[in-house]
Amino acid sequence: MKCISALTVAITLAPLIFGFSVVQAGPPAPIAIHSVSVELPVSRTEFPPGPGSDLSGKCLICHSASMVLKQPALSRAQWTAEINKMRHTYGAPIDDDEVDKLSLYLAKINADQQTH
Amino acid sequence: MSREGSAIEPSRRHFLQAAGLFGSIGLIGGARALGATAKSVRLPFVNGERELTNAFPQKGEMILLRTRPPLLETPFDVFDHGVFTPNNRFFVRWHLAYIPTQIDAEAFRLTVRGHIGKPLSLTLHQLMTEFAPVELAAVNQCSGNSRGLFNPRVAGGQWANGAMGCARWTGVRLKDVLDRAGVSAGAVQVRFNGLDTGLISGTPDFLKSLDIDHARDGEVMIAYGMNGEQLPLLNGFPLRLIVPGWYSTYWVKMLNDIEVLDRVDDNYWMAKAYLVPDTPYASVKPGQSDFKSVPISHMPPRSFITNLRDGDRVLVGHAVHTRGIAFGGDAGVSKVFWSSDGGAHWMDAMLEEDHGKYSFRRWNAHYTPSSRGENTLMVKAINSNGVEQPAVPNWNSGGFMRNVVESIKVTVA
Give chain B's domains with CATH numbers: 19-32+299-413 (2.60.40.650), 93-273 (3.90.420.10)
Say how many C-beta atoms besides its own lie within 10 A of residue B373's C-beta.
9
* CB B312, CB B399: distance < 8 Å: no
Three-state secondary structure call for residue B374: strand
Beta strands, E only, A1-116 = 3-4, 11-12, 32-33, 36-38
Average pLDDT, rounded, for chain A:
83
Question: Shortest Cα distance from A51 to chain B (angstroms)?
Answer: 22
Using the predicted structure, report yes or no on whether residue A9 has a pLDDT greater than 50: no
Question: Over the range A59-95, which residues count as b (16 or more CB within 10 Å of their CB) and which as e?
Answer: bbbbbbbbbbbbbbebeeebbbebbeebbeebbbebe
Which residues of chain B make contact with A116, given a CB cutoff of 8 A?
42, 46-47, 49
Q: Which of B55, B67, B135 sits opposite A24 (nearest CB)?
A: B135
Question: What is the rounded CA–CA span in Å between residue B349 and residue B335?
Answer: 8
The whole-number pLDDT of residue A115 equals: 86
Q: Which of A23, A33, A38 sits opposite B57 (nearest CB)?
A: A38
Encoded amino acid at B361, one letter: R
CA B326 to chain centre: 12
Say how many C-beta atoms besides its own lie within 10 A of residue B20's C-beta.
9
The whole-number pLDDT of residue B28 equals: 58
The whole-number pLDDT of residue B24 equals: 43
* CB B73, CB B91: distance < 8 Å: yes
The whole-number pLDDT of residue B27 equals: 57
Q: Which of B64, B137, B229 sits opposite A23 (nearest CB)?
A: B137
Contact B59 A1 (CB under 8 A): yes
Put simply, whether A70 touches B (Cβ < 8 Å) is: yes
* CB B168, CB A31: distance < 8 Å: no
Q: DSSP letter at B196?
A: -
Residues with Cβ within 8 Å of residue B29, at least 6 apart in sequence: B11, B12, B15, B312, B313
Mean pLDDT, range A19-43, rounded to an integer: 79
Contact B158 A28 (CB under 8 A): no
* CB A3, CB A38: distance < 8 Å: yes
Which residues of chain B make contact with A23, given a CB cutoff of 8 A?
134-137, 355-356
Q: Structural domain boundaries of chain A? A: 53-112
Three-state secondary structure call for residue A17: coil
Put simply, whether A75 touches B (Cβ < 8 Å) is: no
Put simply, whether A17 touches B (Cβ < 8 Å) is: no
Contact B105 A71 (CB under 8 A): no
Report, in angstroms and rounded to the nearest whole number, the Rg of chain A calculated over CA atoms: 23
* CB B95, CB B156: distance < 8 Å: no
Residues with Cβ within 8 Å of residue B403, at least 6 apart in sequence: B281, B299, B300, B301, B302, B329, B389, B390, B394
The whole-number pLDDT of residue B19 equals: 35
Positive or negative, the CA dihedral B361, B365, B369, B370 is negative
CA B327 to chain centre: 10
Q: DSSP letter at B197?
A: B
Positive or negative, the CA dihedral B55, B56, B58, B63 is negative
pLDDT tens per residue, range B334-378: 999 999 999 999 999 999 999 999 999 999 999 999 999 999 999
Put simply, whether A84 touches B (Cβ < 8 Å) is: no
Three-state secondary structure call for residue B372: coil
Residues with Cβ within 8 Å of residue B50, at least 6 apart in sequence: A70, B40, B41, B42, B43, B63, B64, B65, B73
Question: What is the rounded CA–CA span in Å between residue B175 and residue B219?
Answer: 8
Name residues 233-262 of chain B within 8 A of A (Cβ). Answer: 233, 237-238
C-alpha distances (whole Å) from B207 to each of A7, B345, B379 are 30, 46, 36
pLDDT tens per residue, range B199-211: 999 999 999 999 9
Low-confidence ranges of chain B (pLDDT < 50): 1-25, 30-37
| DSSP-assigned beta bridge partners for residue B112 | B120, B258
* CB B379, CB B303: distance < 8 Å: yes
* CB B195, CB B240: distance < 8 Å: no
| DSSP-assigned beta bridge partners for residue A3 | A38
- My answer on whether omega of the bond before B238 falls inside 30° of 0, hence cis, is yes
| DSSP-assigned beta bridge partners for residue B160 | none
Encoded amino acid at A72, one letter: P
Contact A9 B58 (CB under 8 A): no
Give the alpha-carbon dihedral of B395, B64, A113, B158, to 10 degrees. 10
* CB B181, CB A71: distance < 8 Å: no
Which residues of chain A make contact with B205, given a CB cutoff of 8 A?
none
Encoded amino acid at B314, one letter: V
Confidence grade of residue A14 (pLDDT, cut at 50, 70, 90)? very low
Question: What is the rounded CA–CA span in Å between residue A45 and residue B101?
Answer: 22
Sheet with B320-327: strands ordered across: B302-305, B320-327, B361-367, B350-351
Q: Which fold has domain A53-112?
A: Cytochrome Bc1 Complex; Chain D, domain 2 (1.10.760)
Contact B202 A91 (CB under 8 A): yes
